[in-house]
Amino acid sequence: MGSEFHQLSNEVSAPYEFPQFPIEQIESKLLTVQKEKGGPAALPREPSIGIGAELEDDDIDQFVPHFQRVNITGDDNSGAATEDLQSASKLLIQALTVRDKYMRISRQKFPANVDRFLSSLSGKPADEVHLLDKATIEDHPIHPPKVGDPWECEFLPNNGYELKCVQGVFSVYEKPNGPKKNFPVPNLETFVTDMQHMCTLIADGPLKSFCYRRLSYMSSKFQIHVLLNELRELAAQKAVPHRDFYNVRKVDTHIHAASCMNQKHLLRFIKKTLKTDGEEMVTKVKEKVPNGKTDMTLRDVFESMNLTAYDLTVDMLDVHADRNTFHRFDKFNAKYNPIGESRLREVFMKTDNHIGGKYFAKLIKEVFFDLEDSKYQNLELRLSIYGRSPDEWDKLAEWAITNDVYSDNVRWLIQVPRLYDIYRANSCVENFQEILENLFKPLFEVTVDPSSHPALHRFLQYVIGFDSVDDESKPENPMFDETVQTPDEWSDRENPPYSYYLYYMFANITVLNHFREERGLNTFVFRPHCGEAGSVQHLVAAFIMCESISHGLLLRKVPVLQYLYYLCQIGIAMSPLSNNSLFLNYNRSPLPDYLARGLNVSLSTDDPLQFHFTKEPLMEEYSIAAQVWKLSSCDMCELARNSVITSGFSHHVKQHWLGPNYTRDGVAGNDMTRTNVPDIRVSYRYETLLSELSTVFGDHLNASLEDEAT
C-alpha cells in the first residue's frame, strides 16, 4: 500500500473491515489520491477472478459498480484441508462435466462461465460470447411488438423420413431401410453409470462437509453484503425513473392450467354458465337419468345434485387446500373436483370432453384477459398429455386453435403424469413403451411432415417443454441398473421409478430436439416437478438431465446437490404457499436460504384455485414472501428477474424484457431500466459465483496450466 494511503483514515482494502465513514467519502478520497498519482482511476474490483474470455472482454471495466465488497484474502481461504479441497473439487468437476454432457447433447442451456472453466481444463475452446450493442430502452422498448395471427406459420415439405421406436427410444431414418440419422443419445447403460456415480458422489463425507461449509459461507457473506450495501442498492433503485417492482416483468414459472383461476372466479363462471347455457348438452351418462335421457344438460347435472345457481358458494365448491391436505396428496388431488363431483371437473376443466373443452377455453381466456390487463405478469401453464392414446396431441392442439386460446403473456408446458400403473390396471396400455409412443410419435410425425398434423404444428410454436408430474412421495425403488426391463418389456403392474420416467422422456426429447433443430423448428426443454417429496435420487436425475425444476425442497437436506445446483444456476421454481398446504410449513421453507446463497430461484403459484384468494395470485405469492421473510424491493426484483431468465419465453422477447445483452455475464447483462435490479446486486452475485468456481477449479486449473507450460 502506497504512502499516500496513510493520509486516509480508513484502509479500504483490508479484509472484513467495516468502514467507519460512508463509502462515498472513502471512494472520493481514493479517486483524489489516484488522480494525484497521475494514473488512470482504477475501479475497485475483486482481484484474480475470471479467466479466459473474461479477461479479453476489454469493455468489462465499464461495468464494475462501486460498492463495499466482502473479501477473503490469503492463499488457503476455502476453510477445508488441502487434501479435502483437492478431492472435493475433483468430484465437483466430475459432476459438472456430467451435466455439461447431457445439456449439450439435448440442446438445453448450460451456463457459459462454467463451460469456460471446464473448457480451460480440457484445453478445448469455449463457445464464443456474442456481444451486442447496448441499446437503450428508447430504441428497444420493454414491450415486444405484438404478433399478428398467432396461428400463422410456415409449413415445411414432407422430408419422407422413417421413424422407429426401439426399446422406448425413437430413431429417425433418412429413407425406408436407409441409414439411421446420427442423433446422439446417452444409452441406458451410460445413464445408469452416471446416475450411480452421482449417487456415490453426493454421499462422500469430505465433499458433504466442503459443500456445507461453502453454502454456510455464502449465506453469511450475503448477510454482510446486505448490511454494507442495502442503502446503496435502494438508492440505485430510486435513481431509476419509471421502473419499480410492479412494472418489472415476472413469469409464473410453475402453474397448472386446470387450476390457474382462483376459486371465486371459478364459482362466478359456473353460475354465469348455468344461467346462459343451462340447456346445453354437456355430458353423456352410462346409466339412464330419471327422465330417460342419456345426454345431460348443464341444468340436469345440477339438478342431479339438488343444486341451483343461487345456492352455490365458495364453501360448497370446496376446492381450496386446507389443513386436511397436509401430507395427503390423495386428498389434495380430490380438491380438483368442484363440489367433490368429477363430472363438474370434466365439464369445466378438461380440454377433451363432450363440448370440446369450450368452457375450459372460455375460463382460461378470462384469466388471460386479466393477465394482459396487468401487463407485466406472464404464465407458463401446464397442460396434460397422458399417453393413453395416440390422438391426445391432435385433440389438444385442435382445442387451442378452434377456441383461439392464445396470449402473448402465456407459453405452454406439457405435463405428463406418471400413471403407468393405473393405465395398466385398467388395460389402457400393455407396456410402458405404448405410453412413450403415444407421447412422442405424433411429435416426430409432425416434424417429418407438418401437414400430417397441421393443428399440432401450429400449436407447438408455443410449447416450450415438458414437465413430469405426480405424487413424488409414493413408495418406489429409486435405483435400477442396466439389467432393468426396457420399456417394451415393462409390462408388469408396478409403476416404473421416477428416474426411469425421466430418462426415457429425456432420451426421446433429445432425439426430437436434434431432429427439429435440423429442420429449423423450435426445440423443447425438460423441467419436471422434482424434490417436492420422496427420494433425493429424483434431484440427482434432474441434475443430470433437466434444464430446471419445480419445488426443489429436498435440496435443503443434500448440501452437495444444493451446491451443484448453485454452480450450474439451475432454475428452481418454488411455491411456498403450495408447500405450506402439502409438504412443508411456510416458516420452514428453504427459499430465503436459497435466495441468500444465490441459487437461481423464482416464485410461482402452482395452483391458484387451491391456494390463493385474489385475482393476482402471483402478486399474492410475492406479497406473502416479502412480508414473512422481510424481503427488500431489491430481493423481489431479483426474484422477478430470475423468473424471466428461467422461463421459456423466446430469446427475442427476453431481450425486450431484460435488455438486449441479458445473456452476458454479470453487470454487462443487466439493464436496470428494465429489471430494476441494482448493478450492485448483480455484480455481487456474479463475483461470488466466479470466486466459488475459482475455489473449485483453482488447483486443477493451475495443474493443467503447468502441464501446458511443460
| Grid cell locating 235 | 438508492
Closest approach, Cβ 218 to Zn ion, in A, equals 28
State CA 60 to chain mean position distance: 29
Burial of 176 (0-12, 13-18, 19+ CB in 10 A): exposed
Q: How far is the CB of 523 from Zn ion (least distance, A)?
A: 23
Tracing cell 386479466 back to the chain, one arrives at 370
Region 327-366 residues binding Zn ion, contact defined as CB under 5 A: none
- At closest approach, how far in Å is the CB of 590 from Zn ion? 17
Report the residue number, 437 or 606, with the smaller CB distance to Zn ion. 606
List 573's β-bridge partners, or say none.
550, 602
Q: Which residues of 587-614 are buried (b: 16+ CB within 10 A; e: fewer)?
A: eebbbbbbbbbbbbbbbbbbbbbbbbee
Cell of 560: 452437495
- The site for Zn ion, by CB under 5 A, has a size of 1
Stretch that binds Zn ion, among 203-211, 369-377, 424-432, 605-613 (CB under 5 A): 605-613
Residue among 171 and 473 whose Cβ is closer to Zn ion: 473
CB 567 within 8 A of CB 589: no
Cβ of residue 533: shortest distance to Zn ion, in angstroms?
Answer: 12
Sign of the torsion formed by the C-alpha atoms of 191, 197, 200 and 206: negative
Cβ-contact 160, 452 below 8 angstroms: no
**Based on CB atoms, which residue is closest to Zn ion, 70 or 542?**
542
d(CA 337, CA 332): 10
* Whole-angstrom Cα Rg for the chain: 27
Least separation in angstroms between CB 648 and Zn ion: 16
Give the H or E element holding residue 218: helix 205-239
CB 254, min distance to Zn ion, A: 6
Return the percent helix, strand and coil in the chain, to nearest 5: 50, 10, 40
Q: Residue type for 480, please?
A: F
CA dihedral sign, ordered 321, 324, 327, 330? negative
Cβ 255 to Zn ion shortest distance, Å: 8
Determine which one of 453, 551, 612, 656 is catalytic.
551
d(Cα 129, Cα 127) in Å, to the nearest integer?
7
- Closest CB to Zn ion among residues 257, 693: 257
Determine if 532 is a binding residue for Zn ion (CB under 5 A): no
Tell me whether residue 378 or residue 605 sits nearer to Zn ion (CB atom): 605
Phi-psi region of 318 (alpha: psi -120 to 50; beta: other; left: phi over 0): left
**DSSP collapsed to 3 states, 538-582:** HHHHHHHHCCEEEECHHHHHCHHHHHHHHHCCCEEEECHHHHHHH
Sign of the CA dihedral 98, 104, 109, 114?
A: positive
In the complex, the smallest distance separating the C-beta of residue 385 from Zn ion, rounded to whole angstroms, is 16
Select the residue whose beta carbon is closest to Zn ion and give its number: 606
Q: Which stretch binds Zn ion (CB under 5 A): 12-20, 356-364, 599-607, 619-627?
A: 599-607
Q: Considering the complex, what minimum distance in angstroms separates the CB of residue 466 from Zn ion? A: 14
Q: Which is nearer to Zn ion, 398 or 606 (CB)?
A: 606
Q: How far is the CB of 335 from Zn ion (least distance, A)?
A: 13
User: Is residue 551 flagged as an active site residue?
Assistant: yes
DSSP state of 323: G
- Residue nearer to Zn ion on the CB measure, 191 or 332: 332
Judged by CB under 5 A, which stretch of 109-117, 434-442, 598-606, 658-666 contacts Zn ion?
A: 598-606
CA-based torsion, 677, 678, 679, 684: positive or negative = negative
**Part of the chain binding Zn ion (CB under 5 A), chosen from 126-134, 199-207, 324-332, 604-612:** 604-612
Which CB, 19 or 417, lies closer to Zn ion? Answer: 417
H or E element that contains 416: strand 410-417
Nearer to Zn ion, 194 or 606 (CB): 606
Stated length of the chain: 710
* DSSP string of 621-684, one letter each residue: HHHHHHHHHT--HHHHHHHHHHHHHHS-S-HHHHHHHH-TTTTSSGGGG--HHHH---HHHHHH
Min. distance of Cβ 614 from Zn ion in angstroms?
19
Binding segment for Zn ion (CB under 5 A), chosen from 147-155, 366-374, 606-614, 650-658, is 606-614
The residue assigned the cell 465488497 is 69
Closer residue to Zn ion in complex, CB, 606/621: 606
Distances (CA, A) of 636 to 247, 519, 611, 642: 12, 40, 21, 10
The single residue among 392, 437, 606, 635 that binds Zn ion, judged by CB under 5 A, is 606
- Number of helices (H) and strands (E), helices first, in the chain? 27, 13
Mark the segment that binds Zn ion (CB under 5 A) among 433-441, 453-461, 602-610, 673-681.
602-610
Q: Which is nearer to Zn ion, 434 or 606 (CB)?
A: 606
Which residues are annotated as catalytic?
551
Residues interacting with Zn ion, by CB under 5 A? 606
